[in-house]
Structure 1
Amino acid sequence: MNILITGGAGYIGSHTAIALANAGHKITIFDNLCNSKLTVIDQLTKILGFPVNFINGDVRNTPLVNKSLKENEIEGVIHFAGLKSVAESVANPLLYYSNNVQGSISLIEAMQQNQVKTFVFSSSATVYGEPTYLPYDEKHPTNPINPYGHSKLQVETILGDWAKSDPEVKASILRYFNPVGAHESGLIGENPNQIPNNLMPYIAKVICGSLPNLNIYGKDYGTRDGTGERDYIHVMDLAEGHLAAIDYLKNNHGSHIHNLGTGHGTTVLELIEAFQEINKVEIPYKFSGRRGGDLASYYSDANKALKELGWQARRNLEQSCKDTYHHLLISNNRAK
């Protein structure tokens, strides 16, 4: 299948590109590099052993998306392109609605012009909001508490309405939790252009000396140790979830929602302690105040994905910590 991966030079998109290519799909990456690097395309070429088709563009540029779909004979789209910082979305909500919602509409409009009707959407567990119960399952009420979550939920609604309007549409909405880790080669991993918003790349920058210490936002949550609790899922497990979604859509029309997570939570302090013990490093940290838009605790019920997609997370937290550190060492050696 010819698949366009928007945001494919980013963290999750690049790992998904590997999973798709290894399964025999022909991939085209479409990315404006606002929070990723062109060198990722070179690393993907090394991993896969052949040149990766790359288009530098913004999904809000509908004519360019239209041209890209047509020229590459695209049959399906996996949509990662979008901004993802909760704190930034609170500070600058219009930026998030422009990139995430307007960008998705532009992409779907181009797809309609080219009769492309297979769509996998990178959504988020943030659409659930404050937990009514845990773990979150797909029936949990959606009530996001920040603009980032609202932008994701709005796109989910658009996809649902699109699928209702056209019986040929096949849309997969993947609500995933907290991706961590890196590809086993160490050649790609999470390496944002700005100061990281996610825990693992923040740890990596502290270890290599780019940042003096790790800030832990909040120590008075109602969790085991007072720090936030999250469902950390290895990025390659997440990538394989997208491959499973593409396979599922071959025989299933309409709009379908699945959680992708491990099913259990780990606190920030637990993750730091595990990383230190597994990789024999020290991570200096200090506590800061809570960030706006953050939740105390959330983790998934991913049984629906197991039942319908035949997918479940296979890699544990130890593997995530090892792979993150391996990527850090490879990156540092490459930079010397």
Structure 2
Amino acid sequence: MKILVTGGLGFIGSHTVVELQAQGYDVVVVDNLSNSTLEVLQGIEAISGIKPAFENVDLRDKSAIQRFFSAYTDIKGVIHFAASKAVGESIENPLLYYENNLSSLIYLLQQLQEKSEVSFIFSSSCTVYGQAEYMPITENAPIQEAFSPYGNTKQIGEEIIRDVAKVSGINAILLRYFNPIGAHESNMIGELPIGIPQNLVPFITQTAMGIRQQLSVFGNDYDTVDGTCVRDYIHVVDLAQAHVVALKRLLEGANEDKVEVYNVGTGKGSSVLEVINAFEKVSQQKLPYQIVARREGDITEAFANTDKVYEKLGWKASKTLEESLLSAWIWENKIRSK
């Protein structure tokens, strides 16, 4: 069964391709290499023994997407990762995010709605909840006003998918995941940000390597255990496996609604300082950091209630924060030793 993975050479996408191939799916990867490299394709092949089909396509190019689907007529499922994903960058350059994240989704769905039936997994985010009133966050928590253009694109993306699913053969699962970190146990693929990292853990590992002078902790006056922001950090392989389970549910027709929503996290929140302490413990490295002013777009706290994803999909995270951080540190050491 042929599955399209957009953004399939990115951090989460590449790990998901590995898990799909392990389950026997025939994967086609689309990526424009804006935040990834072809070396990732080699890593996927080294792990799985299978080199997935790859097409360099920019999903903002409507005609290129049309040509792709003319060549690949037998796509049965799509996992859509391709999007820009940094909160801070989206505040600085909102039009980039609206164009990239929304036009690409629209053009993709325009092709998929021509099919009699197709399964669609959307890479959504816990940012759709804004600052939720209650913790842990359930799927029934109200969608709050977005704190950033990035979060807004995820809210709008979900709305677009719901509307299109009503009038087409598209069945969809929206996976609202929290903060993916870590690397594959083979050490062949992992998080590889181009330029200055926008996420906490790669900035931590690069600081520990001496690539960055020090880590900035944005605010220590939040209403949390130690004043720093709290997030739910999930190992990327656990997250990748959730995508495969969700896709299988749709392909087998086990979904109860045309569009279903699931939180994907560990169910446990960790503050920035707790992450730093855990990293120092597993890496045996002292991390230089300083407390600076709060960053626009950051919410105080977010961690998942995972009851629904366990009940309906039988999935739950298996790896600890320490295991995730250690894998990220091992990966950082590998890529810097090249």
User: Where on the TM-score scale, by shorter chain, does this alignment land: which range?
Assistant: over 0.9
Give the percent of matched residue pairs that are identical in Structure 1 and Structure 2.
Answer: 42
Cα deviations across residues 53-92 of structure 1 (Å, max 9, x unaligned)? 1111111222222332342321111000001111111111
- 2:155 and 2:89 map into 1 onto residues whose CA distance is 17
Asked if 1:264 corresponds to 2:265, the answer is no
1:294 to 2:276 alignment = no
Cα distance per residue 1:144-167 (max 9 Å; x no partner): 22111110010100111111113x
Q: Which residue of 2 aligns with 1:281?
A: 285
Match of 1:145 in 2: 147
Q: Which residue of 2 aligns with 1:133?
A: 134
Q: What secondary structure is seen at the aligned counterpart in 1 of 2:190? A: coil
The answer to whether 1:43 aligns with 2:43 is: yes
Correspondence for 1:331 among 315, 329, 335: 335
Map 1:82-231 onto structure 2 (within 5 A): 82-115=83-116, 117-143=118-144, 144-166=146-168, 168-231=169-232
Letter in 2 for 1:310: G
Q: Which runs of 4+ in 1 moved over 3 A?
A: 113-116
Asked whether the equivalents of residues 35 and 194 of structure 1 are also in contact (C-alpha less than 8 Å), the reply is: no
State the shift of 1:115 in Å: 4.5
What per-residue deviation string (whole Å, max 9, x for no partner) do you get for residues 307-332 of structure 1?
11111111111110111111112212
Given that residues 62 and 109 in structure 1 are in contact (C-alpha distance below 8 angstroms), is that contact kept between their aligned partners in structure 2?
no
Q: Distance in 2 between matches of 1:116 and 1:63?
A: 22
Larger mean Cα displacement after TM superposition, 26-35 or 57-66 = 57-66
Residue equivalent to 1:64: 64
The RMSD of aligned alpha carbons is 1.2
Contact 2:12 2:236 in 1 (8 A): yes
Residue identity matched to 2:233: Y
Q: Provide the C-alpha distance between the structure 1 equivalents of 2:217 and 2:64, rounded to a whole number of angstroms.
A: 41
Do the aligned partners of 2:113 and 2:170 also contact (CA within 8 Å) in 1? no
Give how far 1:116 is off. 5.5
TM-score, normalised to structure 1, is 0.96
TM-fit CA distance, 1:50: 2.4
AA of the residue aligned to 1:209? G
Mapped contact 1:69–1:114 kept (Cα < 8 A)? no
The 8 Å contact of residues 96 and 148 in structure 1, kept in 2 or not, is answered as yes
Which structure 2 residue ranges, 5 or more long, are not aligned? none
- Corresponding position of 2:324: 320
Question: How far did 1:114 drift?
Answer: 4.6
Q: Residues 88 and 261 (structure 1 numbering): CA distance in 2 closer, same or farther, change over 3 Å?
A: same
SS at match of 1:19: helix
Residue deviations 1:238-283, cap 9 Å, x none?
Answer: 0000001101112125011000011110001111111111121121
Distance 1:67 1:115, change over 3 A: farther
- The answer on whether the counterparts of 2:112 and 2:170 sit within 8 Å (CA) in structure 1 is no
Q: How many angstroms does 1:117 deviate by?
A: 2.1
- Identify the residue that residue 255 of structure 1 maps to in structure 2: 259
Q: How many Å separate the matches in 1 of 2:70 and 2:330?
A: 39
- Letter of the aligned partner of 1:165 in structure 2? V
Is the 1:15–1:235 Cα contact (8 Å) retained in structure 2?
A: yes
1:92/1:116 Cα in 2 relative to 1: closer, same or farther (>3 Å)? farther
- Could you list the per-position Cα deviations for residues 195-240 of structure 1 after superposition, in whole angstroms to 9, with x for gaps in the alignment? 1111111111112221111111111111111111000000001000
Whole-angstrom distance in 2 between the partners of 1:286 and 1:159: 42
1: CA distance, partners of 2:11 / 2:242: 15
Aligned residues between the structures: 333
Letter in 1 for 2:227: G
For residue 10 of structure 1, what is the aligned residue in structure 2?
10
- Determine whether 1:26 maps to 2:26: yes
State the TM-score, normalized to the length of structure 2. 0.96
